[in-house]
Amino acid sequence: MKKADWLLILCVVVVLTPFFIPATGFFAWFNSATSNHPFIMAFFKFAILATLGEMLALRIRKGVYCEKGFGVLPRMIVWGFLGMAIAMAMVIFKTGVPAFLEAVSGCGKGTMAALLAAEHFSWGKLGVAFAVSVLMNTIFAPVMMTFHKCTDIHITDNGGTVRGLLRPMPMRDIMAHKIDWGQMWGFVFKKTIPLFWFPAHTITFILPPNMQVLFAALLGVALGLILALASGRK
């Protein structure tokens, strides 16, 4: 292990330690801030954690956490706004999918929503959580992942600077010539969504609300790692 690896481990320990010391009140503050300012917190959680995932992927591929043109700050900005979009999607699908299930099954209004919101585990709650995960990852995730890929290419093409990020993005050129659609379909969409994200977000929606926030934020590391590793696959 390199010095940078030990430094990263130390930073992670320092950041996570207050969560496990009740006397600090940090975990209570975190839950309160997430409840009162969900989208602001989503911005910072994904900006930090998903970018960390991309840096870990770079470490695996090239042996370094950052390189010229990588653009840590632009990536954090992009992930922050994507995190807000993910938080929005979670609210929409947690509300809409139970209502859809009630409509197609003929159950009473609020039945499926009550199952999902129940504190105790049940097979019914598992089924609703799985349905929410499947629909969210089938409808929303491919669009979000494709947009992220476009921003990733745009950041790299502009030297990894914030100024470069703010330049108009040539979406047509990127979509037509710079995205490996075989890779996006064959690995990112076809494999990671059903094999990882379906079960991962099923677990997310089963957990209590305060744990959902923390678990979804931790999944941001996996999201950044998977998407970044995908870009380096041959």
Contact present, 54 and 233 (Cβ < 8 Å): no
Mean pLDDT of the chain: 87
| Residue 17 and residue 98 share a domain | no
| Residue 140 and residue 84 share a domain | yes
pLDDT at residue number 164? 93
| Residue 48 and residue 32 share a domain | no
pLDDT at residue number 9? 84
| Residue 90 and residue 108 share a domain | yes
C-alpha separations of 182 from 79, 135, 164, 177, 230 in Å? 24, 23, 28, 12, 11
| Residue 75 and residue 13 share a domain | no
pLDDT at residue number 231? 65
| Residue 53 and residue 28 share a domain | no
Q: Tell me the average pLDDT across 63-74.
A: 90
pLDDT at residue number 142? 95
Which segment, 33-37, 47-51, 175-179, is predicted with the most confidence on average? 175-179
pLDDT at residue number 193? 93
Number of domains in the chain: 2
Q: Is the pLDDT of residue 82 over 60?
A: yes
| Residue 63 and residue 164 share a domain | yes
| Residue 61 and residue 27 share a domain | no
| Residue 44 and residue 15 share a domain | no
| Residue 112 and residue 218 share a domain | yes
pLDDT per position as a tens digit, 194-217: 999 999 999 999 988 767 766 877
| pLDDT-based confidence at residue 234 (cuts at 50, 70, 90) | very low
Radius of gyration of the chain (CA): 19
| pLDDT-based confidence at residue 57 (cuts at 50, 70, 90) | confident
pTM: 0.89
| Residue 101 and residue 186 share a domain | yes
pLDDT at residue number 117? 87
Name the amino acid, one letter, at 218: L
Q: Is the pLDDT of residue 228 over 80?
A: no
| Residue 200 and residue 105 share a domain | yes
Contact present, 83 and 47 (Cβ < 8 Å): yes
What residue numbers bound the domain in which 8 lies? 1-36
